[in-house]
């Protein structure tokens, strides 16, 4: 251990080290809704990094990260207990493994004999690599509450996402955390300290300046599209009850008629708003008739039945004459929620899963850009948590979608932080791709988001409540599209980070091998 770097951390870190990891976990929880103090993210990792610096071995470092991860994910995603307590525990543990791996990688970087600048860079890259794997890994990828999402309330700061995306902003947040830590460790080396403080100042000032400049750019919408979203507020306990079907359809019919009175160009229903198989249920005729009655195109969430083994979670686009012109089938299904993965190994769990209410949907084949009478304004659809995955939104924007819609049902999770955390993902997809995003949620948050990440309006009641209210909202959405730097190549940042991290790994471990060889020769 470098004695200079070790100064400033109280001796109690050795006696009560868990206080540091718990502190980091709690700070991260507070940075996200329900509290939403996003500014805490810029210092939240410092206690964890300090304890990893003093870890006695790599196993201890991994354990420190695991503790922070369990506190963070267990606390911020406690809403999952409304569905399954066991699933919540398993998810918190699984997600915390990535924080453990991050802490382990940090341990190796901190113990290496390289300049402080490389250590700081190593820590930020380690976070980017592990967060990218956590979010994008096939089947088990779950990018909920990515570090950058905590900054969604600070519109100027999130503008940087149109350059390097959420991963790039997350990289800078961790860079600041690491710089502050080492500025404290090396505070008696004034040149090093000043350099690290300068890094922090440049990052924060740069983000603010770029954001303000981006927001002040004049733009003239080519057109305003009058869009309505309807929020039925159907309790999950009755959503699929046969006796409730008529009442559910009546609610959506009335909300749609209200929206039509405001001369909407498009009316959007939430995920699975139609309580049945839209393509085979006789009640679907009510919806096609409704479209003809209001003379307005409808986007309707509903299930699509092909056979006992082939059922899709879909979005139907109906023209104003009631005809279904396009359908999108959800691509990214929720593991152990909408299907049982690895059926060749876990197929025996299917009966138990069905008993627990786990659906067995088929995955769609391709993303769809909906083209309609408004030829100049095609749009893309994301269902449920698909807005968490950066590539789905980018592919739609690259295929000329002028705005995105997210239809979802977060009623599963009760009156918790889940809908507000979900909203943050949509905000970042808007900024990254330079397109507006419209959300229609069964119980909220239903919202209109500009291409700059501003939440322009939400569905709410007279008390200002945005979730678990039955209402509709119409807005003239300014249709502005920007081909952002993110779409032109900035989306590759995490791959660049992985490459740079591997190069630094080679440098660090090569130095370690040379040093050990020299020691052996001396002996």
**pLDDT tens readout for residues 315-341:** 999 999 999 889 999 999 988 788 877
Model pLDDT, residue 338: 83
pLDDT value of position 2: 45
Residues 49 and 13 in one domain: yes
Q: Is residue 75 part of a domain?
A: yes
Among candidate residues 321, 344, 365, the one where a domain is terminated? 365
Check whether residue 291 and residue 396 sit in a common domain. yes
Give the mean pLDDT of the chain.
92
**For residue 106, is pLDDT > 50?**
yes
Statement to judge: residues 37 and 171 lie in one domain = yes
Question: Are both 160 and 79 inside the same structural domain?
Answer: yes
Strand pairing report for 471-478 and 224-231: antiparallel
Half-sphere exposure of 454 (CA within 13 A, CB side): 11
Is 104 found in the same domain as 239?
no
Q: What is the pLDDT of residue 359?
A: 67
Q: What is the pLDDT of residues 197-246, one digit of tens each?
A: 999 999 999 999 999 999 998 878 878 999 999 999 999 989 989 899 99
Q: Who wins on pLDDT, 113 or 233?
A: 233
Q: At what angle do helices 161-185 and 116-136 cross, to 10 degrees?
A: 140
Q: Give the count of alpha carbons within 13 A of 211, CB side only.
A: 22
Instruction: Output the domain CATH number for residue 437.
Output: 3.60.110.10
Higher pLDDT, 521 or 469: 469
5 or 274, which is more confident: 274
| pLDDT the model gives residue 355 | 45
Same domain, 55 and 109: yes
Over residues 247-252, mean pLDDT = 97
Q: Residue 363 pLDDT > 90, yes or no?
A: yes
**pLDDT bucket at 62, cuts 50 / 70 / 90:** very high
Instruction: Give yes or no: residues 382 and 435 share one domain.
Output: yes
Residue 521: per-residue pLDDT: 66
* pLDDT confidence tier of residue 17, bands split at 50, 70 and 90: low
Helix, strand, coil fractions of the chain, as percent rounded to 5: 55, 15, 35
Overall average pLDDT of the 7-22 stretch: 63
Q: Could you give the 3-state DSSP secondary structure of residue 20?
A: helix
For the cut 70, the answer to whether the pLDDT of residue 358 exceeds it is: no
| Catalytic one of 95, 131, 271, 338 | 271
Q: Which of 5, 95, 131, 384 is catalytic?
A: 384
256 pLDDT above the threshold of 90: yes
Signed CA dihedral, 235, 241, 243, 244: sign only: positive
Share of the chain above pLDDT 90, in %: 81
Q: Output the DSSP codes for 250-310.
A: HHHHHHHHHHHHTT-SEEE--TT-SSSBTTT-TTHHHHHHHHHHHT--EEEEEEEEEETTE
Total structural domains within the chain: 3
pLDDT the model gives residue 339: 80
Whether 20 is covered by a domain: the verdict is yes
Tell me how far apart the alpha carbons of residues 33 and 304 are, in angstroms, rounded to a whole number.
34
pTM of the model: 0.93
Percent of the chain predicted with pLDDT > 70:
91
271 tagged catalytic: yes
The pLDDT tens digits for 391-444 are 999 999 999 999 999 999 999 999 999 999 999 999 999 999 999 999 999 999
319 is catalytic: no
- Is residue 484 domain-resident? no
- Statement to judge: residues 77 and 131 lie in one domain: yes
Same domain, 24 and 166: yes
* Residue 483 covered by a domain: no
Q: Examine the pLDDT at 182 and tell me if it is beyond 90.
A: yes
pLDDT of residue 35: 97
Average pLDDT of span 103-115: 94
Q: What is the pLDDT of residue 1?
A: 41
Q: Are residues 128 and 261 in the same domain?
A: no
Helix (H, G, I), strand (E, B) or coil at 437: strand
Q: Which of 111, 119, 330, 460 is labelled catalytic? A: 330
As a whole number of angstroms, the distance between CA 368 and CA 391 comes to: 14
Give the pLDDT score at 113.
Answer: 87
At 351 the pLDDT is 57
Is 245 in the active site?
no
Q: Considering the domain boundaries, does residue 173 fall inside one? A: yes
User: Is 352's pLDDT higher than 80?
Assistant: no
Residues 290, 423: one domain? yes
- Kindly state the average pLDDT of the residues 170-175: 98
Is the domain of 355 the same as that of 372?
Answer: no
Among 27-31, 126-130, 517-521, name the one with the lowest average pLDDT.
517-521
Q: Which of 349-358, 382-391, 510-519 has the lowest mean pLDDT?
A: 349-358
Q: What pLDDT digit, counting tens, does each position of 18-42 carry?
A: 899 999 999 999 999 999 999 999 9
Mean of pLDDT values over 358-380: 89
Structural domain of 287: 224-331+366-478
Indicate if the pLDDT at residue 3 is higher than 60: no
């Amino acid at each position: 251990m470098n004695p200079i770097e070790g100064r400033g951390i109280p001796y109690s870190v050795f006696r009560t080290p868990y206080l540091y990891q718990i502190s980091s976990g709690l700070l991260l929880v507070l940075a996200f809704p329900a509290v939403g103090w996003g500014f805490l993210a810029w210092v939240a990792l410092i206690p964890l990094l300090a304890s990893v610096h003093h870890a006695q071995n790599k196993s201890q470092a991994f354990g420190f990260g695991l503790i922070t991860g369990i506190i963070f994910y267990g606390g911020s995603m406690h809403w999952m207990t409304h569905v399954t307590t066991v699933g919540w525990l398993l998810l918190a543990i699984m997600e915390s493994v990535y924080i453990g791996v991050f802490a382990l990688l940090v341990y190796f970087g901190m113990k290496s004999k390289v300049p402080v600048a490389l250590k700081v860079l190593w820590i930020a890259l380690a976070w980017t690599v592990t967060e990218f794997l956590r979010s994008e890994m096939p089947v088990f990828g779950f990018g909920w509450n990515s570090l950058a999402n905590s900054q969604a309330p600070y519109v100027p700061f999130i503008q940087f996402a149109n350059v390097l995306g959420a991963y790039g902003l997350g990289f800078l947040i961790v860079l600041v955390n690491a710089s502050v830590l080492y500025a404290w460790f090396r505070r008696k080396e004034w040149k090093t300290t000043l350099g690290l403080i300068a890094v922090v100042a440049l990052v924060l000032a740069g983000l603010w300046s770029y954001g303000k400049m981006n927001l002040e750019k004049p733009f003239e919408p080519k057109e305003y599209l009058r869009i309505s979203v309807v929020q039925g507020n159907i309790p999950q306990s009755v959503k699929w009850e046969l006796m409730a079907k008529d009442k559910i359809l009546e609610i959506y019919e009335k909300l749609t008629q209200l929206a039509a009175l405001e001369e909407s160009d498009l009316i959007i229903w939430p995920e699975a708003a139609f309580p049945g198989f839209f393509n085979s249920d006789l009640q679907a005729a009510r919806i096609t008739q409704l479209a003809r009655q209001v003379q307005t195109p409808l986007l309707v969430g509903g299930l699509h039945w092909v056979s006992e083994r082939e059922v899709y979670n879909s979005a139907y686009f109906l023209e104003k004459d009631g005809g279904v012109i396009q359908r999108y089938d959800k691509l990214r299904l929720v593991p152990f929620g909408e299907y049982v993965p690895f059926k060749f190994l876990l197929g025996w769990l299917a009966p138990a899963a069905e008993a627990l209410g786990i659906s067995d949907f088929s995955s769609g084949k391709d993303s769809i850009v909906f083209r309609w009478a408004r030829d100049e304004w095609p749009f893309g659809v994301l269902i449920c948590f698909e807005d968490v995955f950066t590539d789905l939104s980018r592919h739609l924007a690259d295929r000329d979608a002028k705005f995105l819609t997210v239809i979802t049902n977060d009623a599963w999770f009760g009156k918790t932080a889940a809908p507000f955390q979900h909203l943050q993902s949509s905000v970042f997809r808007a900024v990254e791709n330079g397109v507006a995003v419209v959300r229609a949620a069964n119980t909220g948050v239903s919202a209109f988001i500009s291409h700059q990440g501003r939440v322009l309006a939400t569905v709410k009641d007279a008390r200002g409540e945005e979730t678990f209210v039955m209402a509709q909202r119409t807005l003239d959405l300014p249709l502005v599209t920007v081909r952002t730097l993110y779409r032109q190549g900035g989306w590759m940042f995490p791959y660049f980070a992985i490459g740079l991290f591997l190069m630094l790994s080679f440098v660090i471990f090569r130095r370690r091998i040379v040093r050990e060889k020299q020691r052996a020769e001396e002996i």
